[in-house]
Amino acid sequence: MAEKRAEILDIAVTLADERGLAAVSMRAIAERVGVTPMALYPYIGNKTALLDAMLGHLLGQLQPPGAEAAGAGGAGGPGGAAEERGADEAGEAGTWRERLGAIARAARAVVTAHPWAAELVFARPAVTPDSVRTVDLLYTALLEAGVAAGEVPRLERMLSTVVIGFAASEAGGRFGAAEDPRGFRGMLPDGTLPGHAQLATALECPVDWDAEFEADIADLALLIEAVARRGAP
């Protein structure tokens, strides 16, 4: 009963990894399962519920070691290495800075391994047990950093937004070929881009996205310390 659901979910995730979210259709899943599309419905409800479950399946892998009990679908699947590295780093040891960094890196690694997740994550509240547990780890880290209780939930949302948004921008293409607007310089009505002009040399070298992510994490930690210093608002 539950194994069949897990099998369907596993096949759906594999399909998304291989051919993108657009290729995840009831008909395509059914073909791989070896069954009629309609036979899927008792197990997954409908298409929206399937997408929810696929995202939940992924978020479950963001947890620190010890949290993942039995079950959780067929062993492995593609991209498993990145997830496990991420999950290992997201444990409860270390300073709040290390733990926040580990969770952030794990989240980015999951989206890198499963880019289709970026298309789903902004449309669903973090209400699964796995998500709530990750949020709890962030709450604990922020409290330990000295952030006032009244500011913790907001800061958690801002942190998550930066991390998820960064990963989604990478996976989706927003951090694309936009950084060399030289082709536009002449075609603007007023003809000038003063900011770009002042940054000409800085905009010429290609971006190291790993380094940028680390710099963003470091700056967020800086912000958290500043908020902690100022105390309750």
Q: Name the site residues for DNA (rule: CB under 7 A).
A: 1, 4, 23-28, 35-39, 41-42, 46-48
Phi and psi, residue 206, nearest 5°? -65, 155
DSSP count for the chain of H helices, then E strands: 10, 0
Distance CA 60, CA 52 (A): 12
Structural tokens at position 195: 């900011």
Pair 92, 64: CB distance under 8 Å: yes
How is residue 40 written in tokens?
A: 């899927």
Q: Which stretch binds its own copies (CB under 8 A): 24-32, 49-57, 73-81, 186-194?
A: 186-194
Among 23, 65, 207, 231, binds its own copies (CB under 8 A): 207
Site residues for its own copies, 57-116, by CB under 8 A, read 67, 69
Q: Taking CB under 8 A as the rule, does residue 143 contact its own copies? A: yes
196 in contact with its own copies (CB under 8 A): yes
Nearer Cβ to DNA, position 44 or 163? Answer: 44
User: Quick one: 38 or 75, whose CB is closer to DNA?
Assistant: 38
CB-nearer residue toward DNA: 49 or 207: 49
Looking at residue 92, what DSSP letter applies? Answer: S
Q: Is 122 in the site for its own copies (CB under 8 A)?
A: yes
CB of 57 to DNA, least distance (A): 17
Q: How far apart are CA 229 and CA 223, in angstroms?
A: 10
Tokens of 224: 């958290």
Confirm if 29 and 41 have CB atoms less than 8 A apart: no
CB 44 within 8 A of CB 50: yes
> Which residues lie near its own copies (CB under 8 A)?
67, 69, 118-119, 121-127, 129, 131-133, 135-140, 143, 149-150, 152-154, 157-158, 161-162, 164-166, 168-169, 172-179, 181, 184, 187-190, 193-196, 198-199, 201-203, 207, 212, 215-216, 219, 222-223, 226-227, 233
